[in-house]
Structures are given as C-alpha cells and as structure tokens.
Amino acid sequence: MQKYLVAVVAGAIAATNLYAAPVTLQSPDGQVAASFAVENGELIYSISKRGNPVVGSSKMEIFAGAEMVWVGQSIRDNDSSWTPVYGQFSSIRDHYRELTLSLTAGGTPVKLLCRAFDTGIGFRFVLSEASAGKDMTYTSEYKVLNGAAHYAGQRGAPIANVTRAKNISVPLVTERTDGLHVALLESDLYSAAGFESMQIRFAAATKGLVATHSAVSIGAAQLTPWRVVLIGETAGDLTVNTVALNLAAPCELADTDWIKPGKGLWDWRIHGYNNGEFVYGIDTRSYLRLIDFCAEQGLEYFTVDDHWFKTAGSGKMTVAPEVDIAKVTAYAKEKGVRIMLYYDRKKGDFGDPTLFNHYAGLGAAGMKYGFMGNRAGFTRDAINASAENKLLINFHDGPVPMTGVERTMPNLITREYCHAQQDSRSAFTPETFLQMAMVSALVGPLDMANGNFGIKSINAGEREKGPRKKNSYVSTVVSEVARTLVIYTGLVTLPDAPEEYLKKADLFELLKVMPATWDETRVLNSKIGNYITVARRSGDVWFVGSVSDQTERTLEVRLDFLEPGKTYEATLYQDAPNAHGVENPEAYEITPATVKRGDVVSAKMAVGGGQCMWIRPQGDS
C-alpha cells in the first residue's frame, strides 16, 4: 500500500509538471537571462538581455513529439580560467551560471544543461541509459526578434529574405534594429558522437528559425552539441566572444609542446610566376627555393599543396616525377622549416588507418586535408589520428565548422571555413572579406591566405591560378597586411612569391614580426561588410589592423588599450594618398609616430584599403 501511495503522489507531481512554472537563469552580471517552462507537455525557453527579448518564446525537444515532464532542477556557479595552446587570448575566463533541468521525454529520463554567460547562452541535452537505441531529433526554435540584416555560413553571405531561407549553415548572425548583434551556432560537436553539423531553416508554421540534429542515441551520458546564442553590442564583440570556446571540452592532449603556431609560405598561387630567371612550378627545385626563403625570413612553415602526388590507394602513393618529396622534407628539416603536406581523397583513398603515420614518416609537420567533406565523424577521426602521429591538421574545401575543437584538440591549427583568397579562381571583394571576418570567423581559426603583395601581377594574369577575370581582385597591399592580422588563425598562410615580398621589404617586415598567437585581442571598430579595426597584443607590443570596403573612409582608432603613463613608438603603415584598390593597389607609405594612451589615430584608407600600426614601448627595438 505504501509503495502504491508513493507511485500515485509521483504521478500527480509528474502530471502537474506538464505545466511547470518558469525558472530563470541569469548570467553572472545579471544582464543576460534564459527562462524555461513546460507548457502542455512542451519545453519552452526564451532569452533576454537587460530585460529585452533576444529569442522569443520558443520550443525545444530531443525526441520528436515526445511529451516533456519536469522532474527537478538545480543551479550552480563557475568561475575559473584556462590557458589555450594558441589563439586570441593567453588566458580565458570561464564564468557562468549553470541550470540543470531533470526531465522525462516520452517517459525517458533526460537532462538539459543551460549555461548563462555575460555574453551568451549555451544549452545541450545529456541522454540516459534508457534512451539507448531511440531516434533523436534534437530541435530548437529561435524566434529571433528585431532582425534588420542576417548573414550566415562559410562565406558570411547576407540572407536577403530569412523567411524564405532553407538549410542555413552556421553561424547565423543577426544585426538587430536596436544595434544588438546575435549569433546562432553550436559548440563541442567533437564530443557529440553520432551528430552532424547543425543546419538552420525558417519554419513558416512557427514564424521562427529552427535548428535540427538527428541521431540514434547510444545511451548513458551521450551528449548533444551545445546550441549557442552569442550576444554582442557590436559585430566585433562577437568575434572575440569566448562562450563557444568555454563550452567546448577541455584539451584532451597530455602533451601539446609539439603544437607550434606560426607563419609560412604556400606554393599554390605562385605557380607560373616568372621572376625573369626562374619560373615556379610543382617541382623539387621550386619547393627548395621556397624553403630557403622561409628559412632566411624566419617563417616557420611551408605548405606543399596539390599535385605533388598523382594517385593514392592501398597504402601507397604515386609521387609526381618532378617531385622528390623525401629530398624536400629532409631539406626543410635541415633548414628548420616545418612542412604542411596536402592530401586529396579525390586522388584515391590511401587508407585512413595508416595515412597519418605515412605522412609523419615522410617528415611532415602536418597535413592540409582537402575534399574530406562536411562529415563530423570522419573529421573527428582524422583529428584524432593526426594527433596520435603528432601532426597538425588544416581542413579545406567545405569542412565541418566544429566550433571550439581547437580547445579540445589544438592540433586542429586552422581550416578553410571561408572563401579563401581567389578561391575557385575567383577574387573576392573587400566587402566579402569583411563579412567573413565578422561571420565565418565565429567558428574559430580560418585559413584565408591573406597577404598578397604583387596585386598588379595577380590582376594581370601572371599566375597560373590567379583570378579567372583579370583586374577583378580588389585590395591594396596595406589592406593585405591588415587582413592577416584581422583573421585569427594558428597558421598564417602567405600566398605570394618571395620576390614580391622582397620588393616591399619594409612592409614585409611587419608580417615577419607579427606573431601567430596572442595574449589579448580587442575589436575597436566594426560593421559587417563595411569596416573593422582589430588590436592584438603580444607581451607589451600591440599590432593594430584596419580594413575598409570599396569606400574611401577614415576610422578613428582610439589607443585606450595602452598602459597609462607610458610612451610608445609606433610605425604606421598606410595607403598612399594616390592608392586605390583597383587602379593603384601597391602604393603605400610608412611613417613613425610617438603615441600614448588616449591618443586617437586617424586610419585613412583608400578604396579597398587598409591601415596598420606596430606599437611598442619607447626604447624597445
């Protein structure tokens, strides 16, 4: 009888919890909040900032159509910090409040975790043993409010009409009518076995955006990816937002000393370049010449791209007859240059169980992996296998975004989740660069290959793989340098010929001294598609880069980030007065200055132009 009464009481509680009253989780500073309730057996949530709605009342579920029952909840606080192997910051604070909701979904126990940060919200489901074998449809609606403009995906492209949008790739960034910027993406897909990358679509029935993941539950402790909502006052705020990184699983590698961020040359866009005495191609002599330049100029890496091998299969590779890859890698080792070696599955499947060991045996420091596709499981396995062989990995050609994975597996040094310079032999515009810098970059480090110096030569068609249409590549040489600073990556890939860098050795000096990992990053000016100013610090030295669209403009750059009471020497790299991204792209000037905290520098930029500053304490060399 006693057991029967307990069961009746428990059943009554469960029934009432079909209509559980809202519980609200606030961020540590109290400005961001997420509220949850169960209404008519549906889990409903909303997000606000300073009391103003960010995501309106929206539904969330883990099993399609399953009745949700509220069982209980708890809240805890966390305030810690961690040190990334490389990135935009040398230390990251992980400060949040976490709500754990105990639920049943169609009678199956599940938990929902929600973390509220001062700059965003993350939520994910944790499955129970009882869920094993069930089909999951992890769905969350986003009734994003007050949207004035929307941008999304690998190329940060604007969405003309979000109500007609289908299969939107992450991240989706909304610029609201009140100026607030909101981004939708995911984190820690690496830890969510069985799930693929999140897609977003517009659902007419609910008049909101919907993200859906489908997978089969493997039972106890299985995790879904974190769904992430970032909130910033400006677009630039989103690019330095650490919520997605904080939600990613901590580093799983016991030893990370072999993971070295750096800068390097890339051969692909140099093919056919003729300096009057030497023509670069896919051959040993070109590779050795490029390695020499890297060694002489202090560049740590050289990337050998496609066609160094002809076919692959069954644990063997047919190397191009013009390439002695053993000689190339041995020479690089002798010169202290690390080789990134391309692999393309379209040429045949070498066999993944031995592929990475083979590349390590060739003497490569890492692999540039092309055409592997947007497949999360495949990507996870490749990251793990490369780490086991102490290889860096750089995914190309439409890879999985897998946001936050550089925290968990920092051998993922960069990826081409963007439209790289002259990708598909088309030249992108300053506007598309600025969209990617403030949208695509939210997923993590990008391999965009900025830093072309011979812009006239490229536009004249003097490279085999230049833009299909001559004179379509719009940029100034100062903008090219600024772009390498604006885009965060663990491997800065420089795409031009050594001769072009040596022609402008005084400007190239800035690229040489610029680090590939940072202690602090700030975004001082930003508007998607129009302009950006990024300031990055390494030690007590600051590097500042500004990039503009195809409008002449002057940005006011306030040096409020400098230490008070100190005087700094600055070198300013600017478009010359007659510079123009189409008509005169290589005109620049370099001037010294003395600056201090509170000064305002006018960054005057040409059409498609840019401006850079190298700022160090007075007396430093």
Q: What is the pLDDT of residues 152-190, one digit of tens each?
A: 999 999 998 888 888 899 999 999 999 999 999 999 999
What's the pLDDT band for 17 if we cut at 50, 70, 90? Answer: low
pLDDT of 10 above 60:
no
Distance CA 480, CA 453 (A): 7
pLDDT, position 421: 80
Contact present, 22 and 221 (Cβ < 8 Å):
no
pLDDT tens, position by position, 372-398: 888 999 999 999 999 999 999 999 999
Distance CA 153, CA 170 (A): 5
Per-residue CA distances from 463 to 149, 265, 441, 494 (Å): 37, 16, 28, 15
**What radius of gyration do the chain's Cα atoms show?**
26
What does residue 212 show for φ and ψ, rounded to 5 degrees?
-135, 135
Strand partners, 603: 555
Fold classification of 418-443+455-489+497-621 (topology level): TIM Barrel (3.20.20)
Distance CA 173, CA 27 (A): 21
Distance CA 411, CA 176 (A): 36
Distance CA 336, CA 300 (A): 7
- Please give the structure tokens belonging to residue 392: 């860096």
- CATH 3.20.20.70 in the chain: give the residue spans: 261-417, 418-443+455-489+497-621
pLDDT tens, position by position, 396-426: 999 999 999 999 999 999 999 998 888 877 7
- CATH 2.70.98.10 in the chain: give the residue spans: 2-247
* CATH class of this structure's domain 2-247: mainly beta
507's CB contacts (< 8 A; 6+ apart) are 453, 477, 478, 481, 573, 588, 590
Contact present, 430 and 581 (Cβ < 8 Å):
yes
pLDDT, position 11: 36
328's CB contacts (< 8 A; 6+ apart) are 284, 287, 288, 291, 304, 339
Tell which CATH classification among 3.20.20.70, 3.30.70.260, 3.50.50.60, 3.40.50.170 matches the domain 261-417. 3.20.20.70
Report the mean per-residue pLDDT for the chain.
94
pLDDT, position 602: 98
Distance CA 138, CA 125 (A): 9
pLDDT, position 457: 96
Q: What is the mean pLDDT of residues 198-203?
A: 90
Distance CA 436, CA 155 (A): 6
Preceding omega of 171 cis (within 30 degrees of 0): yes
Residue-by-residue DSSP string for 3-72: HHHHHHHHHHHHHHGGGPPPEEEE-TTSSEEEEEEEETTEEEEEEEETTEEEEEEEEEESSTTPPEEEEE
pLDDT tens, position by position, 352-365: 889 999 999 999 99
pLDDT, position 6: 31
Cα atoms found within 13 Å of the Cα of residue 475, Cβ hemisphere only: 31
